[in-house]
Amino acid sequence: AQAGTPVVIYTLEMKATELGERIALAQTDIDPARLRQGRLLPQEMETLTRCREKAAQMPLCIDDTPYLSIDHLCTLVKAQHAKGKCRMVIVDYLQLLATLAPGRTREQEVAECSRKLKALARSIDSPVIVASQLNRQAEEQNTVPDLRHLRESGAIEQDADLVMLIHRPERHHISVDPHTGCSTRNMGILSVAKHRNGATG
């Protein structure tokens, strides 16, 4: 969006105002906790206001419809794409999408959503980035998550061209990274678990 590419975000978990606040904060070094407590300095408020204004000028659309079916989402995206207002889609997150056919297991529903999102990406020839929950095993283990930790469906692994998993050692009480010897404070490790056209690692 900062580069001028029209981006549409479908956030089924957060409100658009909350996400907008995060987008503005991501461009500053302001502590979000101090913002929530109303303890910002005047110059920090000026910086945040400028960042909000800059974010408002970006070609970014946030849809925070709380209950959205996969078919409705695909229809909305295609309509936006036809108008030239969508060249990238972000969905947060997969397990919150609904399906219209009753009487199926949750795994079958997630598999349908995954397949339709893959078909959507191909039909509009644009990236579709989809967040997904991991299962409880990933939370309980100290190891880096892998493909088997994707929640509720193996179809996610099958359909995706690229699967990236985020691991934060600090959350598992690992204070020093064994590979680099560096502190893990605020460290996030991004692991490419699947790459249809490239390397993993």
Look at residues 96, 125, 74, 72 and name the one whose alpha carbon lies nearest to residue 11.
Answer: 96
Query: Catalytic one among 13, 18, 46, 107?
Result: 13
**23 touches 92 (CB < 8 A):** no
Give the separation between CA 159 and CA 127, rounded to whole angstroms. Answer: 13
Quick one: tokens of 147? Answer: 């493909």
Contacts of 110 (CB under 8 A, 6+ apart): 94, 95, 151, 152, 153, 155, 156
State yes or no: is 13 an active-site residue. yes
| Cβ-contact 187, 172 below 8 angstroms | no
Beta carbons within 8 Å of 115's beta carbon, 6+ residues apart:
155, 159
Half-sphere exposure of 170 (CA within 13 A, CB side): 8
Q: What is the dihedral of CA 152, 189, 26, 5, to 10 degrees?
A: -70
- The residues assigned a catalytic role are 13
